Amino acid sequence: MKRDLLTACLTGMFSIFSVYGTHAQTPPTYSIYSLGANTTGLSVSQNGTYVTGLYYSTNAGFSNPQAGFLWTQSGGVVTLPAAGSTNHIDASPNAVNNSGMVAGAVSTTFYGANSLPVLYSNSSSATLLPLPAGSSMGRAYGINNAGTAVGSISQDLNWYATVFTPTNATVLMQTTPDGSILQYAYGIANSGRVTGQFISSTNSAVTGAFYLDSGATNAVDLGFLPGGDLSTVAFGISGSGSYITGSSGPNAFLYQPDTATITALPLLEGWTESQAYSVNDLGWVVGVGGNITSIPFLFDGTSTYSLQGLLAGPDSSRWDMTNGTGNAALGISDNGIITGRALYDGVTTGFVMVPNSPIPEPSTWALLAVGLLVIIGLLRGKKAA
């Protein structure tokens, strides 16, 4: 009986490895879809269903911004509703969750003046999020699947990391162990773990990255890479909170809270710098790197790839991701869908990249781990017998 069960487990594991085992060694290939001229894809939901972004009336320096949008593969681009007073002409829908709820900001100018945090309930309604007493400006940057948003509020000429719900704004008054102030919250995991950037309480020129768990007394300082001791920031956190990404000095990093390790992502040949913006529950990271130009990249846990080299769809030749200075990959889902912007026939255009083959879900690897535990238990039982 044990031998039959052992054989079944090994067969199942072999099947999983056959399909997925080389996912980090074999570069994935992608088909690419346009979000329209003069757009940017800002974020993709963890399940890959929704993409949010913004678009502009011209292609000259990202000027004259207009309202944001929500995109699905079946419905295309749908403009998000107006929020706030009529003079709030700019919308920045920064993050979207698995229900299509979007967290962002509206402002009176394209450079973000007089910004207010906003929550969009899918594409049907928009609600300004509350601000604490004494604050007149705020922004939301991240949202989890429970609909809790994070961002910052401005008070007494300073910015403070804040957690938003539709009825409340909670300023994160915790500090790092050395007393540094949590200034910007850029991402929130489904557990409530928040990540972002702090500023030194003694030297305003020094910034670092943090994460803060619900109920914790102090935030955790992620540390820094060589050359990043004055400027480190965490931009993205995976849905489970197991991975955090951002930049430290000139290099993108991946941080794992369970082991408290910060690791530099490998640069491609000729690159002098990189920044990472989003990470999924497989530890896959997207961002931008390069030297003179901006080149969107994917890090798959082992290697860094230029997104240009991963394109294999029928429209690939019209996209240019290696020239220009505005290209970027800004969001990645757990099933490997990527969004950002690049040049399409010479025009800055938002994109959605969809894998041509299924990417293993984190639950697949969890199932594999269970299989390994079963086999270990069987082998121990056999040895004891």
128 near 85, Cβ under 8 Å? no
Distance, CA of 116 to CA of 100 (rounded, Å):
20
| Contacts of residue 21, Cβ cutoff 8 Å, sequence gap at least 6 | none
117 near 129, Cβ under 8 Å? yes
Q: How many CB atoms lie within 10 A of CB 190?
A: 17
Share of the chain above pLDDT 70, in %: 84
* Weakest mean pLDDT among 12-21, 33-42, 106-115: 12-21
Q: For position 144, which CATH number holds?
A: 2.120.10.30
Total residue count of the chain as it appears in this document: 385
Give residue 197's pLDDT.
98
What is the tally of structural domains in the chain?
A: 1
Distances (CA, A) of 382 to 5, 116, 377, 378, 379: 12, 64, 9, 6, 5
- Residue 256 in any domain: the answer is yes
Give residue 26's pLDDT.
87
- Residue 59 in any domain: the answer is yes
- Residue 301 in any domain: the answer is yes
- Residue 156 in any domain: the answer is yes
- Looking at the predicted structure, is the pLDDT value of residue 371 above 50? no
- Residue 75 in any domain: the answer is yes
**Residue-wise pLDDT tens digits, 153-173:** 999 889 999 999 999 999 999
Strand partners, 283: none
The pTM (predicted TM-score) of the whole model is 0.88
- Alpha-carbon torsion angle 157, 169, 253, 91, nearest 10: -80
- Residue 12 in any domain: the answer is no
376 near 354, Cβ under 8 Å? no
Give the 3-state secondary structure of residue 23: coil
- Residue 271 in any domain: the answer is yes
- Residue 134 in any domain: the answer is yes
Q: Supply 225's token pair.
A: 């890479």
- Looking at the predicted structure, is the pLDDT value of residue 14 above 70? no
**Residue-wise pLDDT tens digits, 280-291:** 999 999 999 999
Residue span of the structural domain in which 237 resides:
39-309
- Looking at the predicted structure, is the pLDDT value of residue 342 above 80? yes
Give residue 385's pLDDT.
53
Q: How many CB atoms lie within 10 A of CB 133?
A: 6
Q: Which residue has the higher pLDDT, 51 or 14?
A: 51
With bands split at pLDDT 50, 70 and 90, how would you rate the model's confidence at 374? very low
**Residue-wise pLDDT tens digits, 44-101:** 999 999 999 997 654 444 444 567 899 999 999 999 988 877 777 778 999 999 999 9
Q: What letter represents residue 336's amino acid?
A: G
Give residue 380's pLDDT.
52
